[in-house]
């Protein structure tokens, strides 16, 4: 496709007016056996978009340095309120391992944003609960996050945002389907 307009950040428009990264296209051409780089370029663009959103999100954390996973746990604990959640429940809800969820709760607890309480229903378990400091942190994080997301999605229509969400979640569905298939066929050479 013909390059029409270069941008300072290295992006260009193709003949159809759609953005692409000439450097990514050139490197993916080396990879694509049939010369069709669309899927490879789309994967690279999804990765670049994820990094751009994460850079802006982390900028809004005002030096607190919470990872996306820790932020997700904190938001989930805010949602469940005083009932709290055990790390296993947090792991299932967030699609992570229980060990990862426990580590994130540890981090949040050290920051004073979460506390652990004994689970009255199971003496062997604990419940993580958001603290008043955690609620205040989330409230302070809200405005910079909203500004960052408004900036990164500047010029997108509601329809485009809905389409982007839909397409990204289709990628997630495909990955989950592939993972389920691999799990079902692992150790089963006839599948």
Crossing angle between the packed helical segments 38-59 and 132-152, to the nearest 10 degrees: 130
Of the candidates 114, 69, 118, 119, the residue with the CA atom closest to the CA atom of residue 94: 69
Res 100: pLDDT: 92
Res 1: pLDDT: 40
Res 6: pLDDT: 40
Of the candidates 47, 46, 66, the residue with the CA atom closest to the CA atom of residue 145: 66
Size of the chain in residues: 191
Does the pTM surpass 0.85? The reply is: no
What structural domains and CATH numbers belong to the chain? Answer: 68-140 (1.10.10.10)
What's the CA gap between 175 and 128, in Å, rounded? 30
Tokens of 76: 């989930």
Res 106: pLDDT: 94
Res 157: pLDDT: 95
Check if the beta carbon of residue 20 is closer than 8 Å to that of residue 14: yes
Per-10-residue mean pLDDT of the chain, 191 residues long, equals 48 90 88 86 90 74 70 91 89 87 93 93 90 93 85 93 93 89 76 52
């Amino acid at each position: 496709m013909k390059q029409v307009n270069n941008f300072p950040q290295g992006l260009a428009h193709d003949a159809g007016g759609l953005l692409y990264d000439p450097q990514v296209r050139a490197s993916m051409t080396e990879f694509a056996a049939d010369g069709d780089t669309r899927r490879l370029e789309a994967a690279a663009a999804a990765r670049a978009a994820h990094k751009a959103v994460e850079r802006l999100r982390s900028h809004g954390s005002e030096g607190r340095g919470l990872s996306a996973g820790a932020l997700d746990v904190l938001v989930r604990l805010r949602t469940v309120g005083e009932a709290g959640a055990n790390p296993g429940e947090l792991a299932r809800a967030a699609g992570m391992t229980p060990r990862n969820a426990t580590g994130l709760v540890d981090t949040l607890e050290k920051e004073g944003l979460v506390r652990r309480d004994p689970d009255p229903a199971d003496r062997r378990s604990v419940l993580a609960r958001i603290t008043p400091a955690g609620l205040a942190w989330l409230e302070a994080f809200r405005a910079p996050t909203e500004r960052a997301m408004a900036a990164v999605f500047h010029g997108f229509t509601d329809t485009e945002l809905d389409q982007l969400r839909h397409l990204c979640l289709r990628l997630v569905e495909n990955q989950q389907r592939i993972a389920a298939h691999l799990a079902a066929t692992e150790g089963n050479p006839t599948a």
